[in-house]
Amino acid sequence: MVSRVIPVEPFDLVLFGATGDLARRKILPALFHRFQIGQFNTECRIIGSSRSELTAEEFRSQTADAIREFGQDVGTTPEEIAAFTALLDYAAVDARGDAGWEEFQAKLRDDAVRAFYLSVGPSLFTDIARRLSQTGIATPQSRIVLEKPFGHDLASAQALNAALREHFEERQIYRIDHYLGKETVQNLMALRFANSLFEPLWNSSHIDHVQITVAESIGVEGRGEYYDKSGAMRDMVQNHLMQLLCLTAMEPPAKFTPNAVRDEKVKVIEALRPVPQSDIARGQYRGTNGGKKGDSYRDHAGNAASRTESYIALKVEVANWRWAGTPFYLRTGKCLRERVSEIAVYFRDPPHNIFEGSGTVHGNVLVIRLQPDEGITLKTTIKDPGPGGMRLTGANLDMTFADELPESGRPQDAYERLIMDVIRGNQTLFMRGDEVEAAWAWADPIIAGWQETGHPPQPYDSGGSGPDDSLLLIHRDGRRWRGIGT
Ligand code: BG6
């Protein structure tokens, strides 16, 4: 709702990689919607940059196309798009050479917040950061924003952090994990720390286990080259699922400040036990009908011998007082039956059943749904309504945010929130350098483990629910995955 929008200070946002896919699909439409809703005005400017020689007018017109194609359907008018694109400028620069930088510098104002958004390949991060600092284009108040992947392993993440810190202080560095910008991810913190109901039960005495699922229905078409060197562990677990795990498992921070929250997340990562290979299931989609249609992962990746996983499930233990004895099962994969991301917290059964013979007591499950249909559901056991004596049945206490809070309007894309947080100078939803390194320090030995054994991922049917090994991983503990798309 417009009334809830707090305008931000005037800014110059420089978008490197302005003609790239992420800029077109996400960043520029996100900025447009924030403008449309009144969060910033015509005192703000967005300066696109890339190697391509474009005029400002061409960049405006490309951006207008991107908004029409990828923006949300909220009755956008041509006038609104024109008003937004009037804020755009463009400067071609050579990230590794001298060309264009002087003209680019001349476009920046001294009295506006300066933010440099590097929506470029990670191999350019250091060159651009160095150039910004050495030319004085970046001031001590400027912010630098980096897209994932942030490193490929611990050593590369450390090298990148060290290179950035030569030119920027940690308080200026915004490492994006777009999962942190999702509405329900923040709601998880509100649920845990703004309600007195859950936190007393939020430990291994009351919680049997937790399942974190990020299932995608799409494959890696078009991104095969990047993905084949990465796989689900690096692409999703080290960052997105790790963040969900941290927010679920962390201790209450004393304050909702960036470092208080991030300190607690780092402690969770550091408490993770090394994961043995026996607690991991890796899979690779093989297309439909047993792989006959040419739509397998290997086809999409263009690598007929690929051993990269497009699916992974892991049993993870947080070795501390709160969580000892409560496993976290993580799974993520491509080409699964349905797109669904959720955190499901399984509470222990009541210690004693007084209703013997009246039906099953269904253990409480709190499901925090990130997408689709953001919301929270609590599975409970109730009396089956009506006559017939005491019969028990399961029922959901269901709160879908769109139903419950219709006045909050259209769902905000994660990038909208994150970019505005950069301008506001709020780092709470961005990863700190030590946090990223801790996550790699945990992930590296896991990856090295399967590289050593040489075990290929297990094939699974596209459109299904993942490889059989993943079922075994949880069944052998006497537990079951929640259905994907059932
Ligand atoms: C990206 C991954 O970070 O997140 C992609 O690189 C993945 O492989 C995407 O598809 C998922 O994001 P979302 O917001 O669609 O769940």
Task: Spell out the SS3 assignment of 279-315.
Answer: HEEEEEECCCCCCCCCCCHHHHHCCCCCCCCCEEEEE
Q: Considering Cα of 133, then 136, then 137, then 143, what sign does the dihedral take?
A: positive
Residue 18 assigned to a binding site = yes
Give the residue numbers annotated as catalytic, written as ranges.
240
Radius of gyration from C-alpha coordinates of the chain: 24
DSSP 333: E
Residue 199 assigned to a binding site = no
Burial class (CB in 10 A: 0-12, 13-18, 19+), 189: middle
Instruction: Tell me the domains of the chain and their CATH numbers.
Output: 11-147 (3.40.50.720), 180-411+432-475 (3.30.360.10)
Name the closest-CA residue to atom 6, ligand 1.
Answer: 235
Q: How far is the CA of 470 from the centre of ligand 1 (A)?
A: 21
Q: Give ligand 1 pocket residues (Cβ under 6 A).
A: 148, 178, 216, 235, 341
Q: How far is the CA of 302 from the centre of ligand 1 (A)?
A: 20
Which among 425, 463, 473 is positioned nearest to 215, based on CA atoms? 463
Name the closest-CA residue to atom 15, ligand 1.
Answer: 216
Reduced to 3 states (helix: H, G, I; strand: E, B; else coil), residue 70 is: helix
Atom of ligand 1 nearest to the CA of 235: 6
Reduced to 3 states (helix: H, G, I; strand: E, B; else coil), residue 364 is: coil
Residues in the chain: 486
Count CB neighbours of 56 within 10 A.
Answer: 15
pLDDT at 1: 43
Atom of ligand 1 nearest to the CA of 239: 3
pLDDT in tens, the chain (486 residues): 445 788 999 999 999 999 999 999 999 999 999 999 999 999 999 999 999 999 999 999 999 999 999 999 889 999 999 999 999 999 999 988 888 898 899 999 999 999 999 999 999 999 999 999 999 999 999 999 999 899 999 999 999 999 999 999 999 999 999 999 998 888 899 999 999 999 999 999 999 999 999 999 999 988 899 999 999 999 999 999 999 999 999 999 999 999 999 999 999 999 999 999 999 999 999 998 666 667 899 999 999 999 999 999 999 999 999 999 999 999 999 999 999 999 999 999 998 888 888 878 878 999 999 988 888 999 999 888 888 888 888 889 887 766 666 666 677 899 999 999 999 999 999 999 999 999 999 999 999 999 999 899 999 999 999 999 999 999 999 999 999 875
**Strand pairing category for 143-146 and 173-175:** parallel
Backbone torsions φ then ψ of 348, nearest 5 degrees: -70, 155
Q: What single letter denotes the amino acid at residue 182?
A: K
Please answer whether residues 202 and 192 qualify as being in contact, where contact means their C-beta atoms are separated by less than 8 angstroms.
yes
Which among 184, 254, 253, 171 is positioned nearest to 212, based on CA atoms? 184
Which among 95, 441, 25 is positioned nearest to 238, based on CA atoms? 441
**Cα–chain center distance at 387:** 48
Atom of ligand 1 nearest to the CA of 414: 14
Q: How far is the CA of 347 from the centre of ligand 1 (A)?
A: 29
173: β partners: 144
